[in-house]
Every structure is written in structure tokens, then in C-alpha cells.
Structure 1
């Protein structure tokens, strides 16, 4: 199995490749329209063949997009994670533009050498590329490709702001019409948040909150979770039944978060004077999901399942439990010795006659590697 983190990297990188490929094919068609019946490039005198140009530009563009995407999602995005949006776009654009110039010079060198049937270090191939770089045609390509680069970069940044998969769902209209899904939810809330906020002050508390959520991100991604909402000091995470039940991902998520904060406890204590604690409630059920809003659109879940999960999380205070799980969820998860479940009570919601059995969850084995 490929690690979930790398699956996410591959999906995001593929988006860059597809954007570049689209722009590349458009460029090849525009080039054909401009050159018309010409059989060579006016700027260099190199023979022009539409079929070869289409293949080289298409493959080169797709490969260039994959390279940019991989650099972005695995390295550069982290470097600029704390910068403002315009700073990210500006500095990343300069970086990728320099990369693009080198990439196009190399691509042109390989293409010319192959067409002429000579090595890339042959003086004729080098001279053709030199003429191309010194011609406006080259810089027109840079401008056009730079636009593709910035579109891919803008897409990546907006997608990060909206949430992974949001643009994809909006584009395909997946939830344009409401649909019913069975999903697993975890409502995780910070303990004593009001007291912590009073002790730190609102600005410092907000800094803690950003770090608090940042430290939860990898555990959520590693267990295929989807961040549905941030509600003050509460985070709502959701899984499809398939992703959440696989290897008990939904429960492993809490375990990984818990271990992450144990590892970081010294830092939190030194930086803020307190280590934030948390409690979580789990439940599964059918929800209605769809787009909502006119001025600002969002994809939301509605149904008793969310209300029930929120109530389960609140019951953590009643039973002095760190994690409460409904029996409905336990029944659909694979059996595992990694978790211990202790029945502690039941929950009857207003307007409902059937009680929901509640179990406290404890860890029995060390967290799984990966």
C-alpha cells in the first residue's frame, strides 16, 4: 500500500500536469494556425511538423507540469506556508519562471537535435537553440508558459484554502444536487479552551489555535480523513465508510493526534505555558450532502448524524472520558486488539425513542507505523 500522504502528493501533482498539458495542446494548435502552410520555423529555419510538434509539446508540457507539481507539493509549499498569499504567488512565480526558462532551453535542444539527427552537444544544435533564445518567439513561449505556470500555482493555492477536493467537486457538480451518503464523523474539541484563552489573551490564544490545528493535519491526512469544519476550538473530521473503516483509520486518527501532542508537549509548555488537551466523539450514519449558498457557496452535511456526534462529544464531560464512540460505529469497524471499548452509558436524543449505546475508547497497543 502506498502511504496516504504520497497518494495525496500524486493526486495534487497530477493536477499540475493536466493544467500544463491543456495549455501545451492549446499552444500547439495556435502555433499550427499561425504557421499555416509553412514547413519550417521562421525564427530558426528548423523544419516544422505539426504531428511531431504536438507530441513533443504535449509530452514536454505534461512532464514539466509534473515536475512543478512535485516541487510544489513536497517542498516549496512548506517553505512559504507562513507567508501571505501575494508573497507566495510572487516569489514562487519567479522561482518557477527561472526553472521554466532552463526547462524550455533543454527541451528545445533535445527536440532540435532529434529532428536533425545529431547529438545535443553538436554546434549546429547549440546554434539553433541560441538563435531561438535570442528571438522574440522564445520569449513569447515563456510568457505563454508562464501563464500556465501561474494558473497551476493559483489553482494549488486556492485548492489549499478551500480544502482538498473542493474545486474538483465544484467543477464536476458532484454535489450540485443533494445526495445521501453514509459517513463517519469525529467531533474533536479542546478542553478548557475558555480558561486557556483568558490566560493567554486572544492574540496569543489564536497563535496556539493555529499551531494546535496544524499539528493535527498530518494525522488526519495519514488516515484519509477530510476536514469538514473548524468551529472555534472544535474540528469536525469526516470519512467515507470505506476510508474510515479501512485499518480503523477513523480511530487511528485520534491515536495519532494524541501521540503527536505527547511528542510536542514540552514545546507547548515552553511556548504557551500549557499543553492543550482534547476530547472527541465518534458516530456513523446517513447524511445529506450538497452545495448551499448564493454569494458564498459551500458543501455542507446535514442530518441527525451530525447532531448526534456533537452530543456524544459533549457527553465526554459527563463520563470524564477522552473519547466516546457509538455502538453503531463499533459494529461496522474491523475487530482489532489495538483498541479497548468499555460500555459506559447510553444517550437518548430529544424526539428519539431509541437510545444510542456509548463506549469509552482506550488504546491497547502502540500506534501503527506510517
Structure 2
């Protein structure tokens, strides 16, 4: 069996840490060797860079980077999630500094043992370690580690704020030139949002939106979706066509979002005095995808499919359902006995000449 979408996403977020640490480590070793003319001018402290030591050093620094990434993504990032950007960096640097000093103390004897051909616990190796810990070379090593740490944490924060796939697409230049691709779109809008906002007030309504969007996270990740935009109380989710139709990800994402929100009904009632619900529209079609903007760059989609999806979603109230799906997309639904599909008839979409049959889907009783 392959990795789940959630595991793939975690792996994709952790791997850049290893790459960043490897590249910076390689650069630092190159600078050090260039500065000393490839000669060890302080053999009592510095480890001579033999081929075996070099391989060990690069493997070690990559593993440490991956370990930092795993700690960051799976634990520490969540611990400081509500802190400001600069406080996050400060707290994390403090934690990782202690962690990495301990790592140096553990890794250094192994590198020295490879150089000297002795046991890591040999007296000569331990003496070299003690000399290293009170030398300027130790501070220099801490400095290079701090750079690797800061760059990887900075990358993590930027990635978290703009989205992993968006940041990677910027780096690779995938959408530097516009391309056409087939995508599935879900427009998801909170019901009675204007009334709720008036009832709660601006601050409490914002807190509600924050919790509301947060509760969609697992469903979106677990079904390979990507958040395209948050527009007030509306969230737009997108799939590349192949990823969306795989395992019926597109419809299962909606059903999981609905279920996860309902599970927290009592929490919402206790904190806000109401249970938020939403209505959704689905459609599929060709879009043009590319980078746009000068002061602030974004990767955007353009195409009739977005307008049509918005129109479909807007008909949910008149049909008294919480989901409407275009005929074109419902044809891509893979057989599933747990799903019940019902036609809502032919609809005339605002601003569209061609009429379209719409469908709704629910779990079978």
C-alpha cells in the first residue's frame, strides 16, 4: 500500500529540511577547506576532512536536518502555533540550540573516531572533543548550525503561511508561464453568515471563522485537496483532476468536512451559541494557471469553470440542499454503494446560456 495523503504531505514538508541542511553543510565545508588550503592547521581540535569523514559528515548533517524537520512538523510547530512569527523563531532557536549542542557532543566523537581509527570512547578522541568544546571552532560550528536552523525554520514558516504546494511551485517555476490544466473545484460557503456575524459581532465572528476553517483541515489533507482561497466565509478547494477523482477524493472530502464539523456541534454551541453549517457547489473543467502580481505574487486560476461553480453553489438554497454537483463531474463519480445520487433537474445558471443538470449526493441510509 502507498502512503496516505496526510503522510505524503508530512514527508513533503520534512524533506526540504534535509536538503537545506545538506546544501548549507556542503557550502560550509567548502569554505573551510578553501580558507585553510585543505590543510588541518589545528589537528588537536579540528577533524581532518578525509573522504570517509566527509561522507559521514554529509550523512550526519542531512539526518540531523530531517530530524529537526520531523520535530518541527510533528510537534514543535504545533506547540507554538499561536505565537507571533518572531516569537516562534526565538523560542524554536532556543530549543534547537540546546538540542543541537547535545547532538554535536554525540556526533563529534564518531567523526573523530573515523579520522583516528579509534573507538569513540578512546581517551584521545575524548580529549579532542574537550579541546573542541572550548575552542573558537566550536563557536564557528554553532554559527553554521544556527544558519542552517534559521533558514530551515524560516522556510517552514513561509511554507506554512503561503502553502507547501504554492511555495514549491514558485521555486520550481512551474507556473511562471501560464499553463492549461483540468481541475475540480469546490466552493464552500457558510450558511446564514451575515446573520451570524451580526449576532456575534466582528471579533467573535472572526474566532468562529478561524475554528470553522481549522476543522476542515484534516478532511482536505486526507483527500488530497488544496485550499485555493479564503474569501470571507467562503473557502475554495481545488484538485488536479487525476487526484480529485482518485478514490472519489472530491466527494469524500466534502462528506468528511461535513462530518468533522458536526462532531464539534456541542463545542460550537457552548462557545458561540450556534452550530455552523455550509453549502457547497462542485464543478470540473479547464483552467489557465499561472503566476500573477508585482507587489504580491500569487498563483491563480482563470476560466469559466470558477464562475460556473460559484453559480452552482448559489442554487443550493433554492433546491434546499447543502451540495450541488454539475452533470459533467457526477459522470466521474466512481461506483460506491455508500453514496446516494439524486438529480435536482435542469437548472438555468445566471449569466450562462447553456442549461445544466445538477445533482446532489449523500450517504445512503
Give TM-score scaled by structure 2 length: 0.96
Q: Does 1:17 align with 2:18?
A: yes
Segments of structure 2 that go 5 or more residues without pairing to the other structure are: none
Q: Is the 8 A contact 1:43 1:132 kept in 2?
A: no
Query: How is 1:199-210 mapped onto 2 (pairs within 5 angstroms)?
Result: 199-210=199-210
State the Cα distance separating 1:53 from its structure 2 match. Answer: 3.9
Q: Does 1:135 align with 2:135?
A: yes
Instruction: Work out the CA distance in 1 between the residues paired with 2:272 and 2:106.
Output: 51
Partner of 1:4: 5
SS in structure 2 opposite 1:81? coil
Deviation larger for 158-167 or 205-214: 158-167
When residues 327 and 310 of structure 1 are mapped into structure 2, their CA distance, relative to the original with a 3 A threshold, is: same
Partner of 1:107: 107
When residues 106 and 194 of structure 1 are mapped into structure 2, their CA distance, relative to the original with a 3 A threshold, is: same
Instruction: Work out the CA distance in 2 between the residues paired with 1:10 and 1:349.
Output: 42
CA RMSD of aligned residues (A): 1.4
Per-residue CA distance 1:188-222 (angstroms, 9 max, x = gap): 00001111111111100000100000011111011
Q: Is the 8 A contact 1:43 1:131 kept in 2?
A: no
SS in structure 1 opposite 2:267? helix
Q: Is the 8 A contact 1:43 1:137 kept in 2?
A: no
Deviation larger for 47-56 or 23-32: 47-56
When residues 205 and 47 of structure 1 are mapped into structure 2, their CA distance, relative to the original with a 3 A threshold, is: closer
State the Cα distance separating 1:118 from its structure 2 match. Answer: 2.1
Q: Is the 8 A contact 1:229 1:237 kept in 2?
A: yes
Give TM-score scaled by structure 1 length: 0.95
When residues 47 and 102 of structure 1 are mapped into structure 2, their CA distance, relative to the original with a 3 A threshold, is: closer
Deviation larger for 77-86 or 356-365: 356-365
Partner of 2:150: 150
Partner of 2:232: 232
Instruction: Work out the CA distance in 1 between the residues paired with 2:336 and 2:320.
Output: 24
Instruction: Work out the CA distance in 1 between the residues paired with 2:141 and 2:45.
Output: 17
State the Cα distance separating 1:291 from its structure 2 match. Answer: 0.7
When residues 150 and 251 of structure 1 are mapped into structure 2, their CA distance, relative to the original with a 3 A threshold, is: same
Q: Is the 8 A contact 2:45 2:131 kept in 1?
A: no
Partner of 1:170: 170
Segments of structure 1 that go 5 or more residues without pairing to the other structure are: 366-370
State the Cα distance separating 1:264 from its structure 2 match. Answer: 0.6
When residues 262 and 41 of structure 1 are mapped into structure 2, their CA distance, relative to the original with a 3 A threshold, is: farther
Instruction: Work out the CA distance in 2 between the residues paired with 1:46 and 1:224.
Output: 48
Partner of 1:159: 159
Partner of 1:125: 125
Instruction: Work out the CA distance in 2 between the residues paired with 1:198 and 1:269.
Output: 17
SS in structure 1 opposite 2:276? coil
Instruction: Work out the CA distance in 2 between the residues paired with 1:45 and 1:98.
Output: 21
State the Cα distance separating 1:186 from its structure 2 match. Answer: 0.3
SS in structure 2 opposite 1:206? helix
